[in-house]
Amino acid sequence: MAVDFKDPEYYENRELSWMMFNERILNEARDPKLPLLDRFKFLSITASNLDEFFMVRVASLVDMVHAGYKKKDLAGMTAKEQLDALRTVTHEFIDRQYTTLNRALLPALEKNGVKLVDSYEDLNDEQSKYVDTYFKENVFPVLTPLAVDSSRPFPHIPNKSLNIAALITTGKNGSRLLKDAEKEGDISFATVAVPSVLPRLIALPSDSDKESDFILLDQIIEKNMSKLFLNYNVLCAFPYRVMRNADFELDEEETSDLMKEMEKQLKKRAWGEVIRLDVEENMDKRLLNTLKKNFHVSQEAIYPIHGPMDLTVCMDIYGLDGYDDLREKEFTPQVQPRLIDCDDLFAEIRKKDIFFQHPYDSFESIVDFIKQAAVDPKVLAIKQTLYRVSRHSPIIAALAKAAELGKQVTVLVELKARFDEENNIGWAKMLEKAGCHVLYGLVGLKTHSKITLVVRDDEDGIRRYVHLGTGNYNDKTAKIYTDCGILTCNELIGEDATALFNMLSGYSEPAYWNKLLVSPIWLRDGFYKLIDREIEHAKAGRKGRIVAKMNSLCDKDMIARLYEASAAGVKINLIVRGICCLKVGIPGVSENITVSSIVGTFLEHSRIFYFYNDGDEEVYMGSADWMPRNLDRRVEVVFPVEDPDLKECAKHILEVEEADNLKAYYLQPDQTYQRKDRRGQKTVGSQMTFCEEAIQRTNEYLESKDNETYTSRLFKPALPPEE
């Protein structure tokens, strides 16, 4: 009987899989072997991740339930079933976050001489006076207390803002302003926002030089609430926080100006439906009912919090000055040895393609590529796609400079990059003013590809230089995300790059591509052919092997193809950082598939795809995950790594990560993720290995008297023998 590889039983729900990914990050916060402040950092990351998850994914499910959407997902779950499951899982997850904070991290922090005052009632006299003075001089002028009555309706509470709600009543003297409207003892609701423009973590005077005390800004405001409502008695005050639906649909075909429509939609985002309400665990029931009624939330959407509201404040604790011994030593990205003494980057590229593995290899080399192109009199044109860039991007500045110098500069700025829309709109306007041709991509598609094309008039004619990568042109995140890229002047890739930009700027649809795999039309079929070829080899009795590294795997058809390959005998190793809807260990379906997920200091972000091809190995890298949106609804670019030395570099990354037994979690048949038992084995941490290799390459180069004698050595992990 033929196996139905698309049986929902063979698939994990996407949202529940993402929650397991966030759980793996929480495990880092719970790991006592890590430096203490790094554990606070990981806890903060779980909180910011969860915020975005609610604003987009949970919000989308809420919309589906409201619309009566009945279609099931790849795992056979309706939107209502998914939402119900997530409410349970997220409540439990938040409980574990605060258990980690209260029982492990804060006590350990206090042992190291740093105390976060739990409540303003715990302040000593000196600290209490200091807090009151700080409030009067720094906080009070910024606050706007808002009362609610018949003439002042319930105010709009911004998304993700931290607020303090209070019940107040008129005192014995009453209110001269409202003496006819209120009687003594009448209870009113009031709220005040904790200003995000002020630091939330406030240092307190301490009796000891060896100890530091801190208090949260919200505690300071709560202590001084009576000063905001003179002639009133504050009966109680509790913090709360709302999460709103930040997901929206943009009808690009019906708008004549995409930028104006995007700006209009961004304003609407602030008024999205409340889909999560965080309240202090013991909040007064009268306050809670008022919030519940005005925000129109169900009981399931209310999350009682036992500790500081909004755990992203843990990133402030991570950044405390004077405690470097409680943080992992920061790694300094290394300049590629070939580029250390390089005066002419274009000449170096002509010699041989250059491979980059960020953040181990410095991203500054890519920035320099754009900067040099901007001022090089031989450069005629620069074309680049931008998805997410930093707030003070040197790349943007270089592109503007190039346009001012008279070069043809074309920049595709993706306005629909979620939560970077406003930033990108600002950059697009600035680039247009500088004289750049600014594109917004194809209607209905996000442009997620990472590509730069530089056209240069070399001595032997026009030549195209291309940078292709797996990550964004963001000099800030390039220090904490792992990504790969190449610089090349390969003629066929240059032709493809030109065709790609012509496709994005006009209506030119290439008949074929020389080297690149491009979505939404060509990429899916390209991957199918590569997988099918391994299936053919396996069925013919030859070795079939696939290694694929990506951020997420949730495309049903792609997973079904992998199941078919596994059933045919192809050995498949998947390194998937986040969402993975594939299940391992299913007899006759996925017995030949392993899945690992690496969670470490750096965010794993590169996409690398390896196919054994009966010994004629092929390696690809690119911007696309195996998700429906990447394969069908985005412009993505996947490129071959053909230079033998560069191919070895890409293979080496996969080999080391496959051998990781320190930071890798392995998916089990019961859908849990477990770390390997390292007893009796050499410890291999892939990120640590790559850091050491980068430093070693630099040192070897600097110690070498003759550059011609320099050879790069790669760490070879001890891999188990293949079956």
How far is the C-alpha of 578 from the C-alpha of 599, rounded, in Å?
Answer: 9
Closest CA to 717 of 644, 639, 664: 664
Residue ranges of the binding site for Mg(2+): 388, 418
**Are residues 351 and 297 part of one domain?**
no
pLDDT tens digits along 620-645: 999 999 999 999 999 999 999 999 99
- Tell me which H or E stretch contains 356: strand 354-358
Whether the predicted pLDDT of 90 surpasses 90: yes
**Domain C-terminal end among 326, 361, 376:** 326
Mean of the per-residue pLDDT values of the chain: 92
Residue 675 CB partners (closer than 8 Å, separation 6+):
661, 664, 665, 666
Q: What is the mean pLDDT of residues 164-190?
A: 72
CA angle 627, 631, 636 (to 5 degrees): 115
How far is the C-alpha of 134 from the C-alpha of 444, rounded, in Å?
Answer: 51
185: tokens are: 């003892």
Q: Which of 66, 156, 306, 448 is catalytic?
A: 448
Is 715 within the bounds of a domain? no
**Are residues 374 and 438 part of one domain?**
yes
Is 1 within the bounds of a domain? no
Task: Give residue 246's pLDDT.
Answer: 86
Is 232 within the bounds of a domain? yes
Q: What crossing angle do the helices spanning 421-434 and 258-269 adopt, rounded to 10°?
A: 150
Residue type, 193: A
Q: Out of 278-282, 505-509, 526-530, 611-615, pick the least confident.
A: 505-509
What is the pLDDT confidence band of residue 178, given thresholds at 50, 70 and 90?
A: low
DSSP 553: B
**Are residues 584 and 494 part of one domain?**
no
Contact 250, 265 (CB under 8 A): yes
**Are residues 408 and 281 part of one domain?**
no
pLDDT above 70 coverage of the chain, percent: 92
Give the end-to-end CA distance of the chain in Å, rounded to a whole number. 27
**Are residues 522 and 507 part of one domain?**
no
Residue 403, domain CATH: 3.30.870.10
pLDDT above 90 coverage of the chain, percent: 80
122: tokens are: 């715990």
Cα 655 to Cα 36, 111, 497, 548, 716: the distances in Å are 30, 41, 30, 11, 8
How far is the C-alpha of 538 from the C-alpha of 543, rounded, in Å?
Answer: 6
pLDDT tens digits along 322-354: 999 999 999 999 999 999 999 999 999 999 999
Contact 162, 279 (CB under 8 A): no
Is 720 within the bounds of a domain? no
Task: Give residue 419's pLDDT.
Answer: 65
Is 15 within the bounds of a domain? no
What is the pLDDT confidence band of residue 709, given thresholds at 50, 70 and 90?
A: low
Task: Give residue 149's pLDDT.
Answer: 80
pLDDT tens digits along 1-29: 789 999 999 999 999 999 999 999 999 99
Is 290 within the bounds of a domain? yes
Q: Hey, how many other C-beta atoms are within 10 angstroms of the C-beta on 587?
A: 9
Residue 66 CB partners (closer than 8 Å, separation 6+):
none
Contact 480, 465 (CB under 8 A): no
Q: Provide the phi-psi class of 335: left if phi over 0, else alpha when psi is between -120 and 50, else beta.
A: beta
**Are residues 168 and 59 part of one domain?**
yes
Contact 49, 25 (CB under 8 A): yes
How far is the C-alpha of 449 from the C-alpha of 624, rounded, in Å?
Answer: 8
Q: Out of 232-236, 312-316, 402-406, pick the least confident.
A: 232-236
**Domain C-terminal end among 305, 326, 347:** 326
CA angle 3, 19, 298 (to 5 degrees): 110
Task: Give residue 535's pLDDT.
Answer: 98
DSSP 213: E
Q: Which domain holds residue 462?
A: 337-511
Q: What is the mean pLDDT of residues 263-278?
A: 81
**Are residues 441 and 364 part of one domain?**
yes
Q: Hey, how many other C-beta atoms are within 10 angstroms of the C-beta on 553?
A: 23
Q: Pairing state of beta strands 517-518 and 201-204?
A: unpaired
Task: Give residue 35's pLDDT.
Answer: 97
81: tokens are: 């079933």
Whether the predicted pLDDT of 723 surpasses 50: no
**Are residues 210 and 78 part of one domain?**
yes
Whether the predicted pLDDT of 180 surpasses 90: no
Contact 421, 396 (CB under 8 A): no
How far is the C-alpha of 563 from the C-alpha of 557, rounded, in Å?
Answer: 10
Task: Give residue 264's pLDDT.
Answer: 67
List b or e across 614-647, with b for residues whose CB sees 16 or more CB atoms inside 10 angstroms.
eeeeebbbbbbbbbbbbbbebbbbbbbbbbeebb
pLDDT tens digits along 665-700: 999 999 999 999 888 899 999 999 999 999 999 999
Is 8 within the bounds of a domain? no
DSSP 371: H
Cα 403 to Cα 380, 465, 477: the distances in Å are 10, 18, 26
Whether the predicted pLDDT of 460 surpasses 90: yes
Task: Give residue 251's pLDDT.
Answer: 57
The count of domains in the chain is 3
Q: Is 537 a catalytic residue?
A: no
Residue ranges of the binding site for ATP: 49, 481, 577, 605
How far is the C-alpha of 234 from the C-alpha of 13, rounded, in Å?
Answer: 47
How far is the C-alpha of 588 from the C-alpha of 302, rounded, in Å?
Answer: 44
Would you say the C-alpha torsion 693, 699, 701, 705 has a positive or negative sign? negative
Residue with tokens 């079929």: 525
Q: Out of 283-297, 356-370, 416-430, pick the least confident.
A: 416-430
Is 23 within the bounds of a domain? no
What is the pLDDT confidence band of residue 414, given thresholds at 50, 70 and 90?
A: confident
List b or e across 684-712, with b for residues whose CB sees 16 or more CB atoms inside 10 angstroms.
bbbbbbbbebbeebbeebeeeeeeeeeee
How far is the C-alpha of 44 from the C-alpha of 50, rounded, in Å?
Answer: 10
Closest CA to 465 of 535, 368, 536: 368
Whether the predicted pLDDT of 231 surpasses 90: no
How far is the C-alpha of 107 from the C-alpha of 39, rounded, in Å?
Answer: 13
Task: Give residue 78's pLDDT.
Answer: 97
List b or e across 37-46, with b for residues whose CB sees 16 or more CB atoms inside 10 angstroms.
bbbbbbbbbb
Residue with tokens 């104006």: 260
Cα 129 to Cα 124, 135, 362, 535: the distances in Å are 9, 10, 49, 74
Whether the predicted pLDDT of 222 surpasses 80: yes
DSSP letter for each residue of 474-542:
-TTGGGTEEEEEEEE--HHHHHHHHHHHHHHHSS---S--SS-EETTTTHHHHHHHHHHHHHHHHHTTS
DSSP letter for each residue of 19-74:
HHHHHHHHHHHT-TTS-HHHHHHHHHHHHHHHHHHIIIIIHHHHHHHHTT-----T
Closest CA to 504 of 425, 421, 439: 439
Whether the predicted pLDDT of 176 surpasses 80: no
Q: What are phi and psi of 173, to 5 degrees?
A: -80, -10
- Tell me which H or E stretch contains 271: none
Q: What is the mean pLDDT of residues 84-112?
A: 97
**Are residues 187 and 80 part of one domain?**
yes
Give 501 or 187, the one with higher predicted confidence: 501
Residue ranges of the binding site: 49, 388, 418, 481, 577, 605
Closest CA to 473 of 419, 396, 361: 396
Task: Give residue 722's pLDDT.
Answer: 47
**Domain C-terminal end among 511, 540, 564:** 511
Residue 22 CB partners (closer than 8 Å, separation 6+):
46, 49, 50, 53, 93
Task: Give residue 720's pLDDT.
Answer: 47
Residue type, 57: R
Residue 224, domain CATH: 3.30.1840.10
**Are residues 302 and 358 part of one domain?**
no
Reported pTM: 0.92
How far is the C-alpha of 391 from the C-alpha of 388, rounded, in Å?
Answer: 10
Task: Give residue 51's pLDDT.
Answer: 96
**Are residues 471 and 449 part of one domain?**
yes
**Are residues 413 and 443 part of one domain?**
yes
Whether the predicted pLDDT of 260 surpasses 80: no
